[in-house]
Chain A
Amino acid sequence: MSTTTVPDPADATARTRAALTGADGARRRKDRTMTVLIWGAFVVAMAPLVSLVWTVLSNGAGRISMDFLTLSMRNIFGGDPSGGIYHAIAGTLIITALATVISVPVGLLAAIYLVEYGKGALARAVTFFVDVMTGIPSIVAGLFAVSLFTLILGPGVRMGIIGAVALSVLMIPVVVRSCEEMLKLVPHELREASYALGVPKWLTIVKVVLRTSVAGLTTGILLAVARVIGETAPLLVTVGVTDSINFDPFEGRMMTLPVFAYRQYSQGLATCPGGESASCVADIAIQNAWGAALVLIVLVLALNLIGRLVNRWFSPKLR
């Protein structure tokens, strides 16, 4: 179909060179452009993070004081700046701890099931639906907990434990996924060595597999805690709000840091009849919100950092 002409070698070389260098200009420009765009995408993503952390730091730092961390909002009205977030910190820690206590055994055991025992349709179903569960909207988890406890205790009940149940619905899949990844990293040789010594399977899992991966498991759990500690919507619908300190998650409403930040924000400006003074600050609610946000973000970042460091320092060097 094609007629082949034998070109003059010198001419061909010149043409090839022209073709390569001529096209290269445009191609190289395109390559440069895309490199810049891709670096740009990363910068675009970092801008909100930097801006956000800076805003929270600069707006919240002024409100942080011993009083702010150790007092509650009981009997604090209007622009009174003497209140604090102690009740919210306590509530957040208690509810998150409860959620962790519920989620970690279930999540860890499910991960053990998937890695050590899981075969067939059930294991595939569990893997698939754990992944699907990571996408449950947090507010739906809250509504689920409300529905469950409405059946048991009747309508309108607000307690810390309901919030903990809602949070654990969100937390379990995260724990399963991260623990599963960590257990998979344990080399098979270790298990086989243990079996060869006649150790039963369950003891192998507890003493060899879990021991080996304990650093990774801790990291996974800490990151899961960091993810749920800032959840607002499910707590808003399950735990309610209060101005007082409540240490009992089985009785009455509790305050939590994210809900506190939201409530203070939605209160807006206070009215000061006699003008602004030391006892009446118009935008005190907004300041409180930023202060609570700062405490919250410090908690989350600390959990993330500790998690990464635990993994780096304590994980066994396999390679």
Chain B
Amino acid sequence: MTTTVSPPPERAPGRPRRRRRTTDRGLNRAFRWVAVGAGVLILAVLAAVAVFLLQQAWPALTAGSDELAASVPRYPDDTSLLEYVGPLVFGTLLAAALALALATPVAMGIALFISHYAPRRLAQVLGYLVDLLAAVPSVIYGLWGIFVLGPAALPVWEWLGSWLGWFPLFAGPVSPTSRVLATVAVVLAVMILPIITAVAREVFLQTPKLHEEAALALGATRWEMVRTAVLPFGRSGVISAAMLGLGRALGETMAVLMILSPGFLYSFKILDSAQQQTIAAYIALDFPEASGLAVNTLIATGLVLFVITLAVNMGARAIVARRKEFSGAN
């Protein structure tokens, strides 16, 4: 798409260049610079995160595979750093994708519930309740997942394994410990529900009232009104909400660390233990005891996670920002 850029309008000759100059002095100017400085500092912090991670990851990125194998525990011989990180990236993506698949429909339901179905007076309070799910610390989700959800979900996993075992995801054997990726995915789904709900809710609430009333006036039922007016209007918002949820799920550490029995395979078996591991949980597990080149290797894997989540989040935010510009409907 090309747009023709018109030259900026010429300033009328003879008018003073800046009228603000007279007031922008002393404390006024100092305050403005401090505020601008805070904004710039935030950009600098984000840049610093990338730079310092890269700087600390550099020794691992440049080291040979023999050197890495010698100093990093559990590093297999004759593998490059890329082959080493590969299964971790796979596990991270698989866990996040499963969580997203579980969470998105439910989150859309909740968002619609709060925006269009719940009694008006209750809607705000119910919104707070959903937000509380985001406030619960992840370590508590971990405890809950291992002691409550795991045992409760085991019969379901066994049922899935015995009846749908032909499907690659549910291929047996089903681990009797329930410390499997399926349990992790359910916990992650609960954890990312609030963020998806929050964004989707905002978008649904922005649906032009006239569209909704037009649909109802044509005799649509409430669901038909939602399907024909609300959902098409909110589509891009829902997509970006889901991507934000994906970003959260990719970086979640403690729930995975506490629940999952880790493995380093490219495996789709989500009902068996010791198959997959995620980057974040791997770092948290090994970092406290690591030293020397092992630290650099862990930071390098963290850098990979940072790049993945940054890409996902930037994509999501770009969609949201673009949408904001074009939604001139109301």
Bind each other: yes
Q: Could you tell me the distance between the alpha carbons of A86 and B197 in the complex, rounded to whole angstroms?
A: 37
Q: Could you tell me the distance between the alpha carbons of A51 and B149 in the complex, rounded to whole angstroms?
A: 9
Interface residues of A in 295-316 (CB under 8 A from B): 296-297, 300-301, 304, 308
- Cβ-defined contact, A122 with B40, below 8 A: yes
Chain B, Cβ-Cβ closest to A112: B35
By a CB distance below 8 angstroms, the chain B residues around A262 are: 139, 142, 254, 257-258
User: Would A31 and B283 be within 8 Å (CB), given that A39-B113, A42-B126, A110-B42 are in contact?
Assistant: no
Q: How far is the CB of B230 from chain A (nearest CB, A)?
A: 12
Q: Is A172 an interface residue (CB 8 A)?
A: yes
Q: How far is the CB of A147 from chain B (nearest CB, A)?
A: 4
Chain A, Cβ-Cβ closest to B32: A117
For B92-119 the 0/1 string (1 means CB < 8 A from A) is 0000000000000111111011100110
By a CB distance below 8 angstroms, the chain B residues around A137 are: 250-253, 280, 305-306, 309
- Cβ-defined contact, A141 with B42, below 8 A: no
- Cβ-defined contact, A132 with B46, below 8 A: yes
Q: Could you tell me the distance between the alpha carbons of A173 and B45 in the complex, rounded to whole angstroms?
A: 11
Please pick, from B39, B148, B280, the residue contacting A55 in the complex, using a CB distance under 8 A. B148
Q: Is B310 an interface residue (CB 8 A)?
A: yes
By a CB distance below 8 angstroms, the chain A residues around B128 are: 308
Q: Is A258 an interface residue (CB 8 A)?
A: yes
For A243-281 the 0/1 string (1 means CB < 8 A from B) is 000000000000000110110011000000000000000
Of A37, A107, A136, most B-chain CB atoms within 10 Å: A136
Interface residues of B in 26-58 (CB under 8 A from A): 27-28, 30-32, 34-43, 45-46, 48-49, 52-53, 55-56
Tally of A interface residues using CB under 8 Å: 97
Determine chain A's interface SS by DSSP, over half rule: helix
Q: How far is the CB of A24 from chain B (nearest CB, A)?
A: 9
Q: Is B66 an interface residue (CB 8 A)?
A: no
Chain B, Cβ-Cβ closest to A134: B313
For A158-183 the 0/1 string (1 means CB < 8 A from B) is 00000000000100110010000000
Q: Is B78 an interface residue (CB 8 A)?
A: no
By a CB distance below 8 angstroms, the chain A residues around B209 are: none
Please pick, from A41, A44, A151, the residue contacting B52 in the complex, using a CB distance under 8 A. A151
- Cβ-defined contact, B41 with A232, below 8 A: no
Interface residues of A in 278-292 (CB under 8 A from B): 289-290
Q: How far is the CB of A243 from chain B (nearest CB, A)?
A: 15
Determine chain B's interface SS by DSSP, over half rule: helix
- Cβ-defined contact, A140 with B251, below 8 A: yes
User: Would A113 and B36 be within 8 Å (CB), given that A42-B113, A125-B43, A140-B302 are in contact?
Assistant: yes
Give the A-binding residues of B (Cβ under 8 A).
23, 27-28, 30-32, 34-43, 45-46, 48-49, 52-53, 55-56, 105-110, 112-114, 117-118, 126, 128-130, 132-144, 146-149, 190, 193, 197, 221-224, 226, 244, 247-248, 250-254, 257-258, 280, 283-284, 287-288, 291-292, 295, 298-299, 302, 305-306, 309-310, 312-314, 316-318, 320-321
Q: List 24 interface pairs A-B (beta carbons < 8 Å), by A numbering.
A: A28-B221, A38-B113, A40-B109, A41-B106, A45-B110, A45-B197, A52-B148, A56-B140, A109-B34, A110-B35, A132-B310, A132-B314, A133-B45, A135-B313, A141-B49, A144-B49, A146-B295, A155-B292, A202-B31, A229-B137, A232-B253, A237-B288, A300-B135, A304-B135
Identify 18 new A-B residue pairs, CB closer than 8 A, beyond the known A130-B42, A233-B138, A237-B283: A31-B221, A35-B222, A40-B109, A42-B118, A52-B144, A117-B36, A122-B39, A123-B39, A126-B42, A136-B306, A138-B253, A146-B299, A155-B295, A169-B49, A200-B28, A202-B27, A203-B27, A304-B132
Give the B-binding residues of A (Cβ under 8 A).
27-28, 30-31, 34-35, 37-42, 44-46, 48-49, 51-52, 55-56, 59, 105-110, 112-114, 116-118, 122-123, 125-126, 128-141, 143-144, 146-148, 150-151, 155-156, 169, 172-173, 176, 200-203, 205, 223, 226-227, 229-233, 236-237, 240-241, 258-259, 261-262, 265-266, 289-290, 293, 296-297, 300-301, 304, 308
